[in-house]
Amino acid sequence: MIQRKIIHVDMDAFFASVEQRDNPELQGKPIAVGSSSERGVVATCSYEARKFGVRSAMSSVVAKRLCPDIIFVRPRFEQYEAVSAQIMKIFQEFTDKIEPLSIDEAFLDVTENFVQQSSATEIAKLIRKRILEETGLTASAGVSFNKFLAKIASDMKKPNGLTVVRPEQAEAFVEQLPIEKFYGIGKVTAEKMHRYGIHNGKDLKGRELHELTRLFGKSGMFFFSMARAIDEREVKNSRVRKSVGAEQTFEKDLTTKFERIAELYKLEQEVFERIKESNFKGKTITLKVKFHNFEQITRSKTINGWFTSFDTIHRYAKELLLQTYLEDAKIRLLGVTISNAEEDEKDGIQLTLNF
């Protein structure tokens, strides 16, 4: 069996780096892309801000508390998409096996490539050099023989770093890895693993498959394989959309029935437009409600047909909202998502796209 040569390229603080590139006055300063309002959220931040503990998805209030001098910049998604397209064209000069994970990162399979280069490490160097020359931005990269290792490796020496994990290094690399660094293990799962004495890759590798599946369900098989550096997933050129949705955090809490229905109506329209644009079909609608105290609930409804018309989306989203006891509640966020897609009935890797 041919051993694959996989590169994972991850742009460094992408949105923030674009803003610093385009505005020299922001260079070297702690900036956050997002809204500075009381209800604002940091989309991403510069490495200067990260030194203070500021992170993506953090509330703007907390970010300003950690870093009083932080500068908030409104996002320019059209510009980010344009730069992302530039980077994608660079990738296409080296291989046609490209799997974007988001606007700022992708897997590349360079086992066979267009530049007749046998070393994946050299290709990663060339790609990073081209990105810097053409966009003025830095990228970090991980190189290995599977996606799991390449993904983790790309995060080891950020920013502007390159990490290579060769086959003979894989076992030791995974064993010393803190469990929080494993791709696919979030905070809640990591805490659960700690309770069972699993703190790193070596601890995880010491657990039997039946134990991991008992503790973590279907994910147990994934964890079992990752602990042994086994990942047979191929780099896929196309990904299947699994859901379409929209959500909104409000400047002021919604306290009346009229306000809730009016704001929900706007979200329904947005979701409907995205469904039309993507030609998406789903059977399940989910309502997300977050209250002023940050408690959150979700309510779902599955129908026999498809959510392809605005009337259907409006009918069931409103029904879910009215069925939820909210008489005295103060709502800070509403969200509507359509899922259970037509493609779910087919084989293939799927990726949830959050809007």
Active site residues: 105
Strands (E), the chain: 6-11, 31-34, 42-45, 71-73, 98-102, 105-109, 139-144, 162-164, 240-241, 244-254, 282-291, 296-302, 331-341, 350-351
Cα-Cα end-to-end distance for the chain: 39
Please report the DSSP string for 80-125 in residue order.
HHHHHHHHHHHHHTT-S-EEEEETTEEEEE-SS-TT--S-HHHHHH
Nearest CA to 75 among 97, 104, 115? 104
Q: Which residues pair with 284 in a beta bridge?
A: 302, 339
The single-letter code of the amino acid at 92 is Q
